[in-house]
Structure 1
Amino acid sequence: MNPELHISSLVVQHRHDAIARLEALIDATASMEIAARGDCRCVVLCETDNQRVLMDCIDELHAVDGVLTVSLIYHHAESREEMDKPIGQDRLPQSGLPQGADP
């Protein structure tokens, strides 16, 4: 079985006084980081080995006192082998640039 990498973004809505508790949880969890923050919401990036760990992260965020909602906004899963391959011209999407033009 090929190990996978799951990359997800979550929007967490919370009361203003919950940010310190959220930061403490996220700082203590290697698979999560705050990518953007607002007054009462933040975007959390989560990189895990499988979907069960992702669901555990969502449950942990929900359990923080003052968290109102946790919404999964983006989720991508791919084999680590595929993710580790270098990006070459053959893997880039067609850009529509004229032939010979530098991207």
Structure 2
Amino acid sequence: MSSDSAANDVHIASFVVQHRGEAASALATWIAASDDMELARSEGTRSIVLCECADQYGLLDRIEALRAVPGVLNVLLVYHHAEPGEALDMPMPTQPVTGAAP
């Protein structure tokens, strides 16, 4: 992969954030202020956060920033996917449904 291609990659990740119950509101506010993260779900002392960055270093920065929010106990990377940004704009191929398992 060329460096030009890597520069156009989009990195999509999800995190499970373990936190104290009283930290949920501050965490949600902090995530809402971010332009590349979204709070997908929050219940009790766990939240699921989605992140879309330009590179893996951005993801690592977001993990460290989430860990720094008061009341956050741990941040776990659950999923990470990278692909060229142009590929995300292309339509998904369709396959006919046959009704038979492969």
Place the TM-score, normalised by the shorter chain, in its bin. Answer: 0.7 to 0.9
Q: How many Å apart are 1:12 and its aligned residue? A: 0.2
Aligned partner letter, 2:57? R
Aligned partner letter, 1:64? V
| TM-score of the two chains, using structure 1 as the length reference | 0.85
- Structure 2: which 5+ runs fail to align? none
- Which of 12, 18, 32 aligns to 2:37? It is 32
Aligned ranges for residues 67-78 of structure 1 at < 5 Å? Answer: 67-78=72-83
User: Identity over aligned residues, as a percent?
Assistant: 42
Aligned partner letter, 2:71? G
- Runs of 4+, deviation exceeding 6 Å: none
What secondary structure does 1:86 align onto?
coil
> Which residue number corresponds to residue 49 of structure 2?
44
Residue 45 (structure 2) pairs with residue 23 (structure 1): no
> Which residue number corresponds to residue 12 of structure 2?
7
- Structure 1: which 5+ runs fail to align? none
C-alpha RMSD over aligned residues: 1.7
| TM-score of the two chains, using structure 2 as the length reference | 0.85
State how far apart, in whole Å, the 1-side matches of 2:93 and 2:78 are: 29
- Which of 62, 70, 74 aligns to 1:65? It is 70
Aligned partner letter, 2:55? N
State how far apart, in whole Å, the 2-side matches of 1:7 and 1:57 are: 12
The number of aligned residues is: 95
Of 63-72 and 19-28, more deviation after overlay is shown by 19-28
